[in-house]
Structure formats: structure tokens, C-alpha cells
Amino acid sequence: MELGMCGAASQCPPLSHREDLWVRGGRILDPEKLFFEERRVADEQRDCGGRILAPGFIDVQINGGFGIDFSQATEDVGAGVALVARRILSHGVTSFCPTLVTSPPEVYHKVLPQIPVKSGGPHGAGVLGVHLEGPFISREKRGAHPEAHLCSFEANAFQDVLATYGPLDNVRIVTLAPELGRSHEVIQALTAHGICVSLGHSVADLRAAEEAVRSGATFITHLFNAMLPFHHRDPGIVGLLTSDQLPPGRCIFYGMIADGMHTNPAALRIAHRAHPQGLVLVTDAVPALGLGNGRHTLGQQEVEVDGLTAYIAGTKTLCGSIAPMDVCVRHFLQATGCSVESALEAASLHPAQLLGLEKRKGTLDFGADADFVVLDDSLHVQATYISGELVWQAEEARQ
């Protein structure tokens, strides 16, 4: 298909330094080449009315939403993933990593084969592969992960990992605690399989964290949450943001839940100012995402949703994040005072770089997949496109 977008805003120059965007066959085209080669540009032209054009958002940590829990071993996991994939289009998410929390081996064996990597389209955001958070994590920093199913690496290290998860074909990210014995072997083996290793739910000190990075780890799972707090004599995993002991040229990325609840705005600013290029916005959303205010039954428990918070019903215990990605982008922008461009890159370019997809996703460069969002000045999503195809549009944008 061909699509011309004219008059796209220039509020965020490196992302939309062109006034328009030409798409064919799902890819972004170089319009000059197109002009000279074909003497013709596009069949269809749309005026974006001065709105912001940005790469589609990528969520590398999302546990479910709209009542769906990816960690539930049902017969029809695929239908649940498809529902979430469709609903997150309205939040500008064009691809994601469904995330499983610590589970017994039989859950991984049943669920993982049901979540293949899949291209996005009108049916929903693309699946880039699964993020497995646990079970190889710290008992002390397990957070909401069930203690009974936590594991350490035993004598066979990587073989034990395979026995726990089953085949890793659909796996993109594994979060583990690097202080567990034999973690280096496992990190090296996972990395050799092309899987991104993330450090989290951990009591590792900085030295252990640096060693894990030298073994191949490239990501930190929800910085500040479920790790040792920053201490000036041993800053722990947080210290990786400014470490001088990382392999030359290596960029460490870190996930942040910018929902206004899980991370204080001052902490967001500290992380962003220390290492802006590594910041990856994640929702870490739970099944209560998108359910609306009121009481809902989720698995074994009742939850009460009130605005952007989800409580265990009848208590003030928070049970996970329910802010969608576009809300996180807006909150992050407002909390850090960063540029619009930086806020958008934290939800698009950086997660793409983390996964080694920056040539295809998270960018509006020529040749990239035409996954993009159209936003108004306050960064509310007006329309979402995947491979150049309109897959979602706001009510007001339709008129």
C-alpha cells in the first residue's frame, strides 16, 4: 500500500525531521528516491494537521490487561494475548513482549508454545517474544512473585533453565538475579541464544551487577523497584547507570514504570539525568489494566480499581501497575521536564535498541517498518499505524 502523510509536525525534530512520511509495502520510503525513480509519490495523502508523528511504542514488560493474565495456564492463551494486543493499539503500542511472572515449570511448558512471535496489524500489536520474569530471582526481593516457585541455578545451570522453561524459541527477555550461583554461565548461554538478559528482583551489589553485564546482561528490570536501594558506598544495580566498569561501547538499558505510583518523580529524574539514553518506559501492567473503576475478580483475588491505582479489594495494598503506555509517556515528560522527543524515544527507540531492532522499529528512518503513531500536542494518541496501515483511530480524529 502507499500512504503519504503531509504536514506532520516538527515538534520533535529527529523523529519527524521530515514534513511527510511515505510508505509502501509496510516500509518507510525515501521520498526523493521515490520521486526520481517513479516520478510519482503516493495514491493517498493525509493531512496530519500539524500533529506529532512518532515511532510506535514498544512495551517490553506487560503481564496482561483487560482481565487477561498471561501467566494463567489456560487452553486458550493465544486468544488472551490477541485481546490485549488489540486493545493496546489505542495506547499507541505497536509491538510488545507478553510477560510471565514466576510460575511452576508446567505453566511455562503450557503457555510459552501458545505465544509465538507474530507481526502486528489490524488484529493487534505485534508480539516480539515473551519476557520471562523469574523464577530465578531473589527470595528477599521477590515482590509479588510466589515464593513457592522460586528457583536457583543447580548443578546443571543452563540445562536446569531449559528444564524449567522448555524450548526458548518464543523467549525474548529473561529477568534473573545475578547473585545466584552459576548465573554467569546462564547469562552467557541465554545471550548466545539471542535472548536479552535483564537484572532484577535482586539483592546484587554493584560488583555482581557489573560482572553480569560483562557476561552479557544488557537490561535492568524496573529500576529501583525490587532491588537494593541506592547506597553511596555500594549503589547496587542502580550503580550500573554510571558505572565505568562496563565493556567499552556497551549501553545498559533500564526499565522504568512511570505511572506516578511506582517511582517518585525525583527518582525518575535522577535516573533520566544520569543516563538518558538507556531509559526504557515499561507499563509492567497487570490484568486490571483497562477494566475501569470498580471491583473486579482476577484469578483468586478481588481487586478494586480507582483511577490509575489497583488495590487488593478492601485494602490499600497496591497490586500492580495499570497505567497504559501513553499515560506513562505523558507522566514521564511532565515529571522529568525532558523534551517531547526524549519522552517518545524512551517508549520507542530505546526498547527497539535493547532488542536489537533499531533498524526496523522505534525509528522513522527510511527502510524501517512503518509502525507509527499520530499524537496531538499533549501526546494523546490520535491514530496508530502498523506497516503503514491504520489500525486504530481516536473518535475525534475520525470526524
The residues annotated with a catalytic role in the active site are 284
Q: If DSSP codes are grouped into helix, strand and coil, which group holds residue 50?
A: coil
Return the C-alpha cell found at 182: 552459576
Phi, psi angle pair for 315, to nearest 5° = -130, 180
Measured CA angle at 97 (ends 377, 230), to 5 deg: 80
For the chain, how many helices (H) and strands (E)? Answer: 11, 23
CA dist 307 and 295 (Å) reads 12
Return the C-alpha cell found at 222: 524496573
Return the C-alpha cell found at 168: 526458548
CA dist 325 and 367 (Å) reads 25
Beta bridge partners of 130: 171
Return the C-alpha cell found at 219: 537490561
CB-side exposure of 79: number of CA atoms within 13 Å?
Answer: 5
CB 94 within 8 A of CB 128: no
CB 204 within 8 A of CB 236: yes
Look at residues 51, 46, 50 and name the one whose alpha carbon lies nearest to residue 23. Answer: 46
Q: Which run of H or of E encompasses 397?
A: helix 395-398
The answer, yes or no, to whether the previous bond of 248 is cis (omega within 30 of 0) is no
